[in-house]
Each structure stands twice: as C-alpha cells, then as structure tokens.
Amino acid sequence: MTLDYQKIGIGQFAPIQTRGTVTESHRSSFHDAEIICAAFACAAAVYDTEEKPSVPGLSFEGEEYITSSTFGTIKATSVTLVRRSAFARHEHFLPMLVVAIRGTASRVDHMVNLNGDSRELNILVSPLYSHAALALYLTLFQDPNNPATYYQPVYAHAGFLNSAEALMPTLSKHIKAAITKGSIKHVLFTGHSVGGAVASLLLAKYLSLAAEEC
C-alpha cells in the first residue's frame, strides 16, 4: 500500500523554500505529516497481512503480527519499526515503534463491541492518572470550582477495556525488546474505529506506568 500525499491532503505540508532555505516550521509540519501517514498506513495494513505499509521516505521493518483470539477479546495487532530510509541529521521522532490495532473485521469482533457495559477506568489505569484526566476534562468543559467532583470514577467501554488488558502482556514484550535493543525513540499507538479506542486505552496505560516509574 503506497500513500499518495496529495489524495489524502498532505501535499500542503511539503517543505516551502524561503530565501533558499526550508523554514523550520514547515520542516516540522512536514515531519508531523509523515508520522501521521505512517500511523495511517499501519492502521490500514493491519486489516490485511498481505499488504505492507509504505510511505515515501520511510522504511517499515520487522513487522510482528499478533493474531486475534477466538472470542475477539485480543484484537489483531501489528507492531512495526519505522525509520527514515536515508540518514537525517535532525531527527527527533524516528525511529519509532508503531502499534496498530485492527477494528471490527468479523462477527466475533461484534461480540466485543456489544459488551457496552461501563468499567471503571482505574482497573486499567492508576487512580492518580485517571483522576488527573478527569480534572483536566472538568477544567476544560465544566465548572472547575468543585474539587469533590474531581474524584468521581472514570469509566470506559467494558469490551474495549477488556481488549486493551488482554493485549498488554504480549505487547509489552515487543515494546521492551525494542527498548532493550535501543532501536526506538517513541512508541505510537494507532488504530481504526474500535482499534483506535483500544489504542487510546493502551496509551493511557503506558503513560500511567511511565508516571509511576518517575
């Protein structure tokens, strides 16, 4: 699968020449667009293992595939190392590990979708992290002058939360292996539809783990 920057609206991020030099802001925007394209390519390719993600200027290596479980709780997931094809002197984000989680692709997947009960988020995420997230939400969208409401439980879709929990043991092994090798700077979580929801919960979990270790 090769992405066309123009077709998906990324052409506007192409570097712009200003008095013979590429401005830093446009270089940054173009690099951000590349990261978005890489996430998009991996999220699309996880639906078909025969398709390989591809973005001009980037290489996708060592793709590992976690197969979905019998009852769909473990979502099909790909773990791919993404680096620049050619040497770049100023590279702040790459190489990165892209974790792409597949959305609904079978009847079994709908079983997870239909498990729409609420589960308290701190089952997966530490209470400190979930309360901080709720406080931010209240600050942005509601009256922040009632501290008592900051400690109300935070809930998530039970099926998606179960999927995130089920993926954690296997996924952590891949991430730890890449970190041990010193081959990555960042881990990016992505996915389409339900895969995006599970990816968000996984990100919250790993952020909370990082915060606890600091």
Encode the chain (214 residues) as per-residue pLDDT tens digits. Answer: 333 333 333 333 333 333 344 445 545 687 888 899 999 999 999 999 888 999 999 999 988 999 999 888 999 999 999 999 876 666 778 999 999 999 999 888 888 898 889 888 775 566 666 666 655 555 544 555 665 555 566 788 999 999 999 999 999 999 999 989 888 989 999 999 999 999 999 988 887 776 555 4
In sequence order, what are the residues at sequence separation of 6 or more whose Cβ sits closer than 8 angstroms to the Cβ of residue 63?
52, 78, 79, 80, 81
Identity at 163, one-letter amino acid code: S
Predicted confidence at residue 67, as pLDDT, reads 92
Predicted confidence at residue 204, as pLDDT, reads 83
| pTM value > 0.75 | yes
Longest dimension (CA), the chain: 59
**Spans of all domains in the chain:** 58-213
CA atoms within 13 A on the CB side of 212: 12
HEC profile of 41-61: HHHHHCCCCCCCCECCCEEEE
CATH of 58-213, one of 3.40.50.1820, 1.10.357.10, 3.40.50.10490, 3.40.50.620: 3.40.50.1820
The Cα–Cα gap between 74 and 97 comes to 19
Classify the phi-psi angles of 62: left when phi > 0, otherwise alpha if psi is within -120 to 50, otherwise beta: left
Instruction: For residue 2, give the DSSP letter.
Output: B
